[in-house]
Every structure is written in structure tokens, then in C-alpha cells.
Amino acid sequence: MTPLVLDGGRRQVTADPPVVLAPMAGVTNVPFRTLCRRYGGGLFVSEMVGARALIDAEEQGAIAAVQEEVAEGKYDDQRPTGREKRLLRAAFGPDEVQRSIQLYATEPAHLREGVAVLDRHDLVDHIDLNFGCPAPKVTRHGGGAALPWRTGLFFELVAAAVEAAGGRPVTVKVRKGIDDDHLTYRDAGRAARDAGAVAITLHGRTAEEAYAGHADWDSIATLVETVGDDMAVLGNGDIWAAEDALRMIDHTGCHGVVVGRGCLGRPWLFRDLQAALTGQPVPPPPGLTEVCAMLAEHGELLVAHMGELAGMRDIRKHVNWYLQGFAIGKAVRLRLRQVERLDELRSLLADLDEPAPMPAGAMQMRRGHTHGPKPVKLPHGWLASRDHRAPLAREAAAVVSGG
């Protein structure tokens, strides 16, 4: 399949094959992206960062220091401050030749200045804008998946990012809408196209659906028809295995796929996608021995990135995702979810070293968020108008990381 080229005029990034790692809070950090890139090509996006956090960090002189520590592999603070944690989400490893970041903002001025910070420090090559987060802490203030309801504000935000991006490609991610009675994705697609975005990702669920049920791939096909040939459309939702990506592309005509929960504990999914989208046979899934080796390597990368205490705390949430489907016993799983030292992780995984094959159907097992449907938290009177200019609550701009 044709590689996806995102061209902002002065810079471009390429996803070859046309696969994008979705930004996921607390997951898509430097170590996880490193591991995924070892298996296959694509575009690998950082965790979501608030534009306001970047502005504050520049004012406090913190950006250069943290970026240098990460680049040199010496960041080893056991208890980083909140500011440092946020900057780590915006950090890239020295081998990341395509630096993609996802930003969040609800005010055009904040977004413009946040993107300008990225431009001044030359921190990224591609900027993705989050208008798809369904987390109540975000939507209750009019942000995330709630914001495209205000079509004028949505357009202004995208245009502000494009204006300040220095010729870097700007893309957006949205959901179908707030709920089935308040769909926004077609208007958002047209507005993003007209504001200068080069691609739009559609997660085929509403904010109300959250992560429940099945993604509506028909809506992705509708968006492809809506925006025409002027902007790439990427499909997101229920890509658990390589064959799912092929089916989505065939069903919708989208230009590529965005993978989120499907790669949790399955970094080799990018190997499978590389094969499927280039017409090669998809390799058989790894067995328990190989999976344990990946889990151990993931832990080692985390420790190198953030120190042993923080790294082992981070790896705990990945344990069940990696080992899902394997019969290893509750006691071992519990011990793995309580690890405090890298040597302990290695020892526990070494005890599991046996050639057990991946169980049938394990790739399709749901991982990550599964909640929903549930009513969407919105500001008072939010649905009364789509384009009134009443300012959002100050708390909306205070969100600095993903939900």
C-alpha cells in the first residue's frame, strides 16, 4: 500500500507503511515507541501534552534541560516534578528521526503559542491536535471530543496551529461526535481541511460510547467521501490484528490506519501490519518465551528512560497486556504487578521461559480501556449553540496531559 506522506510545506513526515501509533496517556512514551519501531515502520506519536504546559515550561527555562537529559540517556530522577513529567511526555529519543507530538488546547492563543514553542526549539516535525478525548475531566470543560461541537472555535484552533507550525504538517484526531444525536465529524473534517490540516483521524465511536461496542467503520467511509481528495483520512478503532487493518481499508477507502489499544502488550503488531500492507505473509504470533523477552526489554527501556523506581511502576500496567491469554497463574501475575526492581522482573520472567504458543484468539482479546457507554460530561448549556463565543472555563486550558 502507498506510504502516507504528510507534507506541511517546509517539512514532511512519512508513514511507511501507512500506520500510525495513536497517542495514549501513560503508554506511548519514548521506551514504548522505541520497542514498536523495532518491529515495523509507521509514524509513532507521543503522549498528549497540553499547549499551556509547553508555554509554562519555556517561561521557566525547563525545556532545554530535560530534552538534553533524555537525549543523553541520563534522566534518572526517582521522583520527578509534575513539570518534568509533562516534559517527558514531549521528549523524543535520539534515534527518533520523525518526531510527532499530540497537543491539546481549547484557546487559539494558547495553541498558537504552544506550537510556537515547539517551532522555536525545533522540538518536533509533526503536530497532531487532540479533539477526540472522551475523558470527563476534559469534556466537562468543553475540550476533547466535546470541542468540535463549536465549529467556529474548532476552525480557529486548527488554523492557529497551522499558522504557527513553521511549515510542519498539522493533523487532527476526532470522534464521531458527542453522541448519536450530536455528530460533528463531517463538519470537523471540512473545517480542518479548510484550516490547512493535512490529515484527519476518525475514531469510529462517539464520546458517549467511549470504548464500548464496535467502532463504526461506515462513518470513516463517509468522512472519506466528505473531504474528497484534499486531505488524507485515517481510520481508528478495533485494529487488533493485521487482518483488521486490511478490512478497514477495504471497507472505508481510508488512507491508513491508527492503532491504539491493539498494540498494548503486542508491539509486534507493527511487524504484522508491515507485512500485511506490503503484500507479505503475516508471521505467526510469538510464543510465551518471546513475549517474556519483549516484556523484559520493555522494562529495561523504561528504567533507562526514567530510573528504576519509576520504570518498574510503569511496567506493572503492561504485564497483563503482554501475558493476556497465557495460562501462567494468578500468583505469578500478582508478583509481576508488584515488581520494584529490574532484576526481580527478569527473574520472574525467566521462570516462565517455556515454548507455550500464543493461544487462539489472544490477539483479538480487548485490552486497555473498555468502559462505556456513559453520558458525556459537558459544560452547562453546551449543546444550546454550536458557534456562540462565550469563553470556556479557565479549567479547560489547565489540562496538561491525556485522560
Catalytic center residues: 133
The residue type at 224: V
For residues 317, 321, 324, 329, the Cα torsion angle rounded to the nearest 10 degrees is -20
The residue type at 247: R
Yes or no: say if 357 and 370 are a contact pair by the CB < 8 Å rule.
Answer: no
For residues 151, 154, 155, 157, the Cα torsion angle rounded to the nearest 10 degrees is 160
The residue type at 57: A
Q: Which residue has the cell 473534517?
A: 189
Which grid cell sits at 309?
Answer: 523506581
End-to-end CA distance of the chain: 33
Which grid cell sits at 266?
Answer: 503486542
CB proximity list for 189: less than 8 A, separation 6 or greater: 174, 200, 202, 223, 226, 227, 231, 233
Reference 314, options 323, 303, 328; nearest CA is: 303
Yes or no: say if 20 and 256 are a contact pair by the CB < 8 Å rule.
Answer: yes
Yes or no: say if 164 and 119 are a contact pair by the CB < 8 Å rule.
Answer: yes
